[in-house]
Amino acid sequence: MENKKLTVIMAVTNEATLESSVNSYLLTEEAFGNVQILLYDCLGSDEAKEAIAQVLEANPKTVVNAGNNVFTRPEAYNTGLKSVKEGYVCFTESAVVLLQSGANFIKESVENYPLSPIEISVKVKAKDGKFKGYSKLSGLNNLCEVTEIPYNVCLAIYAYYFRYDDIKKLSFDTEIGEESLKKFILDAMLVNGNITYSNKHWCKSFRPLENDSVLFDGQYEKSYYTDSMRKFMIPYLKKLKEEKGEVPNFVQYALCKLIFAKFAKNYYENNKGILEEKEV
């Protein structure tokens, strides 16, 4: 592949881990040769500004402070994507650290499957402080076709390294907030579902995923249950049915997982007051 540039579009959501996060993504230089990290401040705090200044000073050739505003993640990713013209793109945040094994797998994938997007597995920090793995079905080959197997699509945007040619016509729908990250993943898989994946290579995140019924803060907000269904899932499923005649199995499975996660959270006594019975 002639152009192996990687653009890392990083939302600064955790100033404490920013340096570790930036340094970890620089591990991909062996795979891509040319790596650029674009930082977008999503905190607006003095601590975040100081952390950004420090990593800029340490990495003047590879790291850029790409915006002076305070962004949401969808806004940051849309802004960053507009500046990309080629190569691969990773949408991540400073709460995520890429492990060496993940970087090694990315290099292997770029060399062996240059026409495929790349997905690595995710470990998330749990209540006990340990990082626990989010994995998939065992027995999957490194190269998977999501439309041909019962594929469990990871809905953490930072797990992916997309080919720019596959996503250049896509964007993050800021009207649906954080749900736009999930929609973007599914849209990208609909464009090119011939993906490389291994459940043995990881990145780790300090931000809880939705399947964490203890640490995920969104479960205490009513909009997490209602807006997600009304503004994202239902319209998205209807649109796919109208355009394609059916909803692909991997999309059905991914959204069923989201719905199950919401019901599971509402099951706990401390969440029962958030939704009225008729809303459930």
d(CA 55, CA 34): 18
Indicate the pTM of the whole model.
0.91
Over residues 24-47, mean pLDDT:
96
d(CA 248, CA 237): 10
Over residues 235-245, mean pLDDT:
95
Q: In the 3-class helix/strand/coil scheme, how is the chain assigned residue by residue? A: CCCCCEEEEEEECCHHHHHHHHHHHHHHHHHHCCEEEEEEECCCCHHHHHHHHHHHHHCCCCEEECCCCCCCHHHHHHHHHHCCCCCEEEEEECCEEECHHHHHHHHHHHHHCCCCCEEEEEEEECCCCCEEEECCCCCCCCEEECCCCCCCCCCCHHHEEEEHHHHCCCCCCHHHCCHHHHHHHHHHHHHCCEEEEEEEEEEEECCCCCCCCCCCHHHHCHHHHHHHHHHHHHHHHHHHHHHHCCCCHHHHHHHHHHHHHHHHHHHCHHHCCCCCCCCC
Q: Minimum mean pLDDT among 123-127, 139-143, 184-188, 194-198: which range? A: 139-143
Residue 209's pLDDT is what?
73
Contact of 67 with 76, CB cutoff 8 Å: yes
- What does the mean pLDDT of the chain come to? 87
Nearest one of 73, 58, 102 to 180, comparing CA atoms? 73
Q: Compare 44 and 137 and report the one with higher pLDDT.
A: 44
Over residues 180-207, mean pLDDT:
91
Q: Compare 207 and 172 and report the one with higher pLDDT.
A: 172
Residue 251 has pLDDT above 80, yes or no: yes
Residue 198's pLDDT is what?
78
Q: Compare 270 and 106 and report the one with higher pLDDT.
A: 106
Contacts of 79 (CB under 8 A, 6+ apart): 40, 66, 67, 71
Over residues 167-188, mean pLDDT:
96
Over residues 59-74, mean pLDDT:
93
Q: Compare 215 and 99 and report the one with higher pLDDT.
A: 99
d(CA 96, CA 111): 24
Q: Compare 71 and 152 and report the one with higher pLDDT.
A: 71
Percent over 70 (pLDDT), the chain: 85
Residue 100 has pLDDT above 50, yes or no: yes
Kindly tell me the sign of the dihedral angle through the C-alpha atoms of 230, 231, 236, 242.
positive
What is the per-residue pLDDT across 196-229, written as a single tens digit (0 to 9) for each? Answer: 887 778 899 998 777 666 666 666 677 777 888 8
Tokens 């404490």, located at residue? 16
Residue 124 has pLDDT above 90, yes or no: no
Over residues 230-245, mean pLDDT:
95
Residue 1 has pLDDT above 50, yes or no: no
108: confidence class by pLDDT, cuts 50, 70, 90? very high
What's at 193, amino acid-wise?
G
Q: Minimum mean pLDDT among 16-20, 167-171, 253-257: which range? A: 253-257
Nearest one of 135, 154, 106 to 250, comparing CA atoms? 154
Residue 135 has pLDDT above 50, yes or no: yes
Q: Compare 271 and 33 and report the one with higher pLDDT.
A: 33
Q: Compare 234 and 140 and report the one with higher pLDDT.
A: 234
Residue 12 has pLDDT above 90, yes or no: yes
Token couple for 242: 């109208």
